C-alpha cells in the first residue's frame, strides 16, 4: 500500500508520513505531499521537486547531522537542571544575558 509522505518544499526534508495512504493535513505553500510504496529515509533522502525522491547531497547530510547534534546538545543542556541552574546563577553574577552565557557554554562544550 502506498504511504502518504509530507516533505518541506524549501529543502525537500521528510517531515511525516502514514502507512494508510490517506491524505495528511499540511500547508501546500510550505509543504508537499507525495505517495511512495515505502518509507523515506529522513537523513539520506529528499523530495526531488517533482513526485519522487533523490539521495541527499553531501552538504545536506552534513547539515542534517549538524542540526541533530545541535538539537541533542540543546536538549542535554535543558535536561541537566544543575548545569542550567549554575549557568543561570553565573549569568546573573556576571551581569550577562542567559542567552549569551548559554551560547558561550555551548561553544565550550563543542571544544570538549
Which ranges of the chain have pLDDT less than 70? 1
Residue 92: what pLDDT?
92
- The pLDDT score that the predictor gives to residue 95 is 95
pLDDT, residue 58, reads: 96
Give the three-state DSSP class for 76: helix
Measure the N-to-C terminal CA separation of the chain; round to a whole number of Å: 47
Q: What is the pLDDT of residue 16?
A: 87
Whole-structure pTM value:
0.60
Burial annotation 59-95 (CB, 10 A radius, 16+ → b, else e): ebeeebeeeeeeeeeeeeeeeeeeeeeebeeebeeee
- Tell me if 3 sits within 8 A of 19, measured CB to CB: yes
Within 10 angstroms of residue 31's Cβ, the number of other Cβ atoms is 18
User: How high is the pLDDT of residue 13?
Assistant: 87
Apex 52 CA angle, 48 and 54, nearest 5? 50
User: So where are the chain's domains?
Assistant: 3-56, 59-111
CA distance 13 to 54: 11
Amino acid at each position: 500500500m502506498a504511504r502518504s509522505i509530507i516533505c518541506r518544499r524549501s529543502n525537500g526534508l521528510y517531515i511525516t508520513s502514514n502507512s494508510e495512504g490517506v491524505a495528511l493535513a499540511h500547508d501546500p505553500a510550505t509543504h508537499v505531499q507525495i505517495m511512495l510504496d515505502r518509507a523515506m529515509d529522513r537523513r539520506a533522502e529528499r523530495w526531488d521537486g517533482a513526485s519522487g525522491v533523490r539521495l541527499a547531497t553531501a552538504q545536506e547530510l552534513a547539515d542534517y547531522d549538524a542540526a541533530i547534534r545541535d538539537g541533542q546538545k540543546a536538549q542535554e543542556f535543558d535536561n541537566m537542571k544543575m548545569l542550567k541552574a549554575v549557568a543561570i546563577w553565573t549569568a546573573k553574577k556576571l551581569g550577562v544575558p542567559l542567552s549569551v552565557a548559554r551560547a558561550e557554554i555551548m561553544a565550550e562544550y563543542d571544544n570538549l
